[in-house]
Amino acid sequence: MSDNVLHAVAGAGGGVLSMILTYPLITLSTRSQVESKRAQTTFLDATRHIIQREGFGGLYAGLDSAVFGISVTNFVYYYWYEWSRAAFETAAIKAGRSRKLSTIESMIAGAVAGSATVLCTNPIWVVNTRMTARKRSPSVSSPTGAGKPTLAEPQDKPVALSTIGEIRALLKEGGIGAFFAGVMPALVLVINPILQYTIFEQLKNLLERRRKRNVTPSDAFVLGAIGKLVATGLTYPYITVKSRMHVAGKDDRNGSVFEALRRIVREEGWKGLYGGIGPKLVQSVITAAFLFAFKDALFNVAQAMLKNKRAQAKLLKK
């Protein structure tokens, strides 16, 4: 098994574990992004209202598609990131330079991996965002003249479609094109992992030069958190637009990213671009921290197991 595949498998496993640990925060953040401005409420209030309406299961709406999505996303991302990284390292060795990636090389590797990941996984995240936001109609209609239910207002329990049911509904509503809603802001958001991994790689290189040894999973935990905090804080308005486009109706999907940004500012003010940023920052930082820690730990374990297996195979041949 090549190192590319080993990194990809470790990244997928780390992503699944970190996703499961932090999923309620993802639910709260996503709903804050896609609900109307009347949904502005505190973190604790939002949690309480979701539990009242849907039970504790409401905090885990769409978890199955999210676990599948994060495993595919991380596998694709790490495969292409490590492939790009290996290409740069090979070129550096041939040129007689250090194998450590420069800032520009880290950014290019992140751009290649991020673009490939977006194109492969956008349909999965469209389904997951709609399931997390419970886009389906309530099981009992609201009284005539009632406003659209929000996080801050009690409502009937929404009908929770299965992943297959959500896919069928999307196909019926907008065809194959519906699965690529928000793909443009998602491609713009490739800058998020570019920033995240560039910061991580450069801090990692600095730490390894000072300590003269490889970073530990606990080091990766801290460095991953720092990288994600900066990246998410800078790109959050685009994250909001992408989430809105995922749950928008067919007519609302048309239009550019900048038009969507202007519409949110016009209707909700600048604060509308940062709806749910509190839980999102907490979730993103914690998820990234656990992801890097789990990935490094899983990679080390898998690498050790492969070495033992190869050593045993050599002994058997003798």
Half-sphere exposure (Cβ direction) of 179: Cα atoms closer than 13 Å = 15
Q: Where are the alpha helices (DSSP H) in 248-276?
A: 257-268
Q: Report pLDDT for 160.
A: 60
Domain-located, residue 144 = no
Distances in Å between the Cα of 194 and the Cα atoms of 113, 201, 202, 204, 217 are: 9, 10, 12, 15, 21
Number of domains present in the structure of the chain: 1
- Whether 45 is in a domain gets the answer yes
pLDDT at 247: 63
pLDDT of residue 226: 92
Residue 164 lies in a domain: yes
314 domain-assigned: no
* Res 147: pLDDT: 42
**The pLDDT value given to residue 39:** 52
Q: Which pLDDT score is estimated for 137?
A: 43
Give the domain range for residue 70.
3-138+149-307
CB count in 10 Å sphere of residue 177:
11
315 within domain boundaries: no
Rounded Cα gap, residues 242 and 126, in angstroms: 9
Could you say which residues of the chain have pLDDT below 70? 1, 30, 32-43, 133-161, 185, 246-257, 318
